[in-house]
Structure 1
Amino acid sequence: MTEKRPIWTRSFINISISTFFLFAVFYALLTFTPIYVLDGLDGTAAEGGFTASIFLVSAIIIRFFAGLILEKYGKKRILVFSVLMFALSTVLYIFIDSLTMLLLLRFFHGIWFGLVTTVAGAIAADIVPPERRGEGLGYYGIAMNLAVVAGPFLALTLQPYLSYSMIFTVFGVIMVIGFFCALFVRVDEQPVVKQEKRKLTFSDFLEKRSLPIASVGFFISFAYASIITFISVYAQSLGLIKTASFFFVVYAFAMLVVRPFTGRIFDSMGPNIVIIPSCIVFGVGLISLSFTESSWMLLLSGALVGLGYGTLLPSFQTLAIQAADKHRSGYATGTFFALYDSGIAIGSVSLGVFAGLLGYSNLYLVLGIFVLCIVFYYRWVMTKHRTAA
């Protein structure tokens, strides 16, 4: 029996910590920027929401070019440079004094977020032993999931006590630490060879073999957009706003409990035995939200969403990377997150319209049924993929 190669190497630990800090700052800014627009810049709620949209737009755009950039300049070089630029962009918030400047900075900041998350995900996949990729990327995904709780908690905790410039300074310091962690990530890659000029093709922007599973991720993230966008508003309408602050805490705890097991099961028994039950649990969690009337039901829904959705993201990312050749892991990661971010962006806007027509309760019911139907689409995608292979 061959000995298992380790996952928790120094490089894997450093890329995970750097990713955690990056996503913590991302979610902290996502929570804090609308508050800054309303109170610091005398803007409107719509303008505050636009700061999130414009950030995601630039992140999605750069993902289509990320694979080409990584191939041309190398993963380690792009990792260090993009983390540095993300950190510098974070520091620049200190000097913002108008809405126009803020929107321009958010667009600029999103470029580096899209690039760094693509290259970090590709490097994490390369560092992890191929036979333990499901388990390894599951652990790596914990960094992103914990940041969902840590980022907003930090922003909302600091907000009553510190000035806006001091809070942005704290975010900048966190990213400086993330930058130093990125410096110590070791990447085994071939030296970058200068290529002759040629006509760009579809494969220079997206990994064709990763598109089918990325499309499943798009629909899942579309449904998940209802959680990150409307859960606090929904809880407030139910008179449960105090409980809402613990929703993502329960979500993160439930995800942490199952993550060590689901990754190993993914590697040893295949993706279906993990993804199909997780889809069902996520769907049931959304349906449970639609019937929520008390605090315990809201927290139970948070646990179900954490058990389901928290497992789906790293599982789909693993499948997207496994579908491509090793040297195209950057293209595969960029393709997956381009569709994933698009689902979040489109869902955040369009579901707001549906919420106005249906009400939040009915919206979550419809989305729960929608996620259960995704199981059949996933089965079709996997069957077609195996047949083609």
Structure 2
Amino acid sequence: MEQSTRLWTKDFIGISLSNFFLFMTFYFLLVSLPVLVIQQFGSSKTEAGLITTVFLFSAILIRPLAGYAIEKLGYKKIFITSLVIFLGSSTLYFFAETMVTLLVVRFLHGIGFGMATTAAGGIVATIIPKSRSGEGMGYFIMSASMAMVLGPFIGLTAIQQGDPTVLYSISVLCSLLALITGLIIRFPVIDAMETVRSDFRFQNFFATAAIPIAIVGAFFAIVYSGILSFVSVYAKEIGLIEVSSFFFVVYAVVLLLSRPFTGKWFDLYGPNVIIYPAIVVFAIGMYVLSGSHTAVGFLISAALIGIGYGTIFPSLQTIAIQKVAPSKKGMATATFLSIFDIGIGFGSFIVGMIVAEVGFRSFYLSSSLYVLAGIIVYFVLHSRKQNAQKTKQEVSV
């Protein structure tokens, strides 16, 4: 019994490290490549934005296919193949001498990333003890959160060297480490692969049970995209550019400190006890951010958003995975992340237009009300149905 409830196994550590290096590559290229293409190719800011759009588009496109392939071929073949594609794409950056070839490489890189993160989410959901699913998924997703702090720092530092070779070398190194740490995993076996149909039906590519909670995730992702894309610009506007780099550091530290408690509470008391307060804290964080005039207020908002959103996201992904059979966990991960990424991509576009009209303070202030409205969205799409099922089960007993 003790063995079956262990969380920090070699396999869990391996998949978490592999996920960390995947997201390290993603985040430091996210902040550095747009700067590079403007300097090296003389591209416009709009063209530079395509660097991220093409990457996310291919990742979103491949995820449903990856979820389907996992059920057909198993986790090991898909995960290792995806890591090889990811590593191979990283080496191709050295040969991208035009904007067009760079976009082709980004498309291929996004395919590897989409496949790998889909498989990784399914693998970790399978190897985590069921009684510790909330805690385990929280720690796993925290590996991406740590990369979100270190990645941009490394990317911006590397780009200051003025040599793209340094940047591309780091990409290859991180991709290689993702592959090496991925190879130490004992991959779970899908028992029900023979039940997978070969025809192209919607349910063969999307876990329909996970779609409602994925929509909830996309709802919050729209606001979060406004933080990822514009918080540093906002900091410069309000005269706090010198502390902007610490925003995600505080975010990650608070997330790290809170994770042991929030994950265990999820497993002990259920998602509602965690998610409803987290939504409120997230909304308060957005309100504080909108009124920040000092470094203290700015960083307090980072801490509140770290506790709030940093708890919401892994909790929602855990719910998505819990809603399906063990053989469908890879597909549930693909469904959740695909819809979530659509929220991030759509949000970045919409937020840019809104900010141009009303300004950052008004946007972040209204975002606090938008986040609070997420209580209703979560209740309608998940909590109400969960309560109804629980009542039905109690009556039948």
TM-score range, shorter chain: over 0.9
- Cα distance in 1, alignment partners of residues 17 and 162 from structure 2: 26
CA displacement 1:105-162 (0-9 Å, x = unmatched):
1112111111110100100000101111101001101101001001001111222236
Question: Do 1:124 and 1:137's aligned partners in 2 also have CA atoms closer than 8 Å?
Answer: yes
Shift in alpha-carbon separation, 1:192–1:212, aligned structure 2, 3 A: closer
Question: Do 1:72 and 1:192's aligned partners in 2 also have CA atoms closer than 8 Å?
Answer: no
Hey, what does 1:384 align to over in structure 2? 385
- Cα distance in 2, alignment partners of residues 230 and 190 from structure 1: 42
- Cα distance in 2, alignment partners of residues 197 and 371 from structure 1: 40
Residue type at the aligned position of 1:240:
L
Question: Do 1:74 and 1:192's aligned partners in 2 also have CA atoms closer than 8 Å?
Answer: no
Residue type at the aligned position of 1:249:
V
Residue type at the aligned position of 1:233:
V
1:94-173 equivalent positions in 2, closer than 5 A: 94-161=94-161, 163-173=163-173
Question: Do 2:190 and 2:327's aligned partners in 1 also have CA atoms closer than 8 Å?
Answer: no
CA displacement 1:69-102 (0-9 Å, x = unmatched):
1111111111111011111111211221111111
Hey, what does 1:90 align to over in structure 2? 90
- Cα distance in 1, alignment partners of residues 380 and 149 from structure 2: 34
Hey, what does 2:240 align to over in structure 1? 240
Question: Do 1:73 and 1:192's aligned partners in 2 also have CA atoms closer than 8 Å?
Answer: no
3-state SS, counterpart of residue 64 of structure 1: helix
Runs of 5+ consecutive residues of structure 1 not aligned to the other structure: none
Hey, what does 2:395 align to over in structure 1? none
Shift in alpha-carbon separation, 1:196–1:37, aligned structure 2, 3 A: closer
- Cα distance in 2, alignment partners of residues 205 and 73 from structure 1: 14
- Cα distance in 2, alignment partners of residues 11 and 97 from structure 1: 39
CA displacement 1:26-68 (0-9 Å, x = unmatched):
0000001111111111111111111111111111111222221
Residue type at the aligned position of 1:41:
F
Shift in alpha-carbon separation, 1:190–1:336, aligned structure 2, 3 A: closer
1:78 maps to 2:78: yes
Hey, what does 2:276 align to over in structure 1? 276
Question: Do 1:209 and 1:323's aligned partners in 2 also have CA atoms closer than 8 Å?
Answer: yes
Hey, what does 1:367 align to over in structure 2? 367
Shift in alpha-carbon separation, 1:267–1:337, aligned structure 2, 3 A: same
* More displaced 10-residue stretch of structure 1: 6-15 or 107-116: 107-116
- Cα distance in 2, alignment partners of residues 2 and 89 from structure 1: 42
Alignment coverage as a number of residue pairs: 389
- Cα distance in 2, alignment partners of residues 13 and 55 from structure 1: 27
- Cα distance in 2, alignment partners of residues 349 and 190 from structure 1: 39
Once the two structures are aligned, what percentage of the paired residues are identical? 39
1:49 maps to 2:49: yes
1:1-389 equivalent positions in 2, closer than 5 A: 5-161=5-161, 163-190=163-190, 198-381=198-381, 382-387=383-388
Shift in alpha-carbon separation, 1:324–1:190, aligned structure 2, 3 A: closer
Residue type at the aligned position of 2:176:
V
Runs of 5+ consecutive residues of structure 2 not aligned to the other structure: 391-397
Displacement of 1:212: 1.1
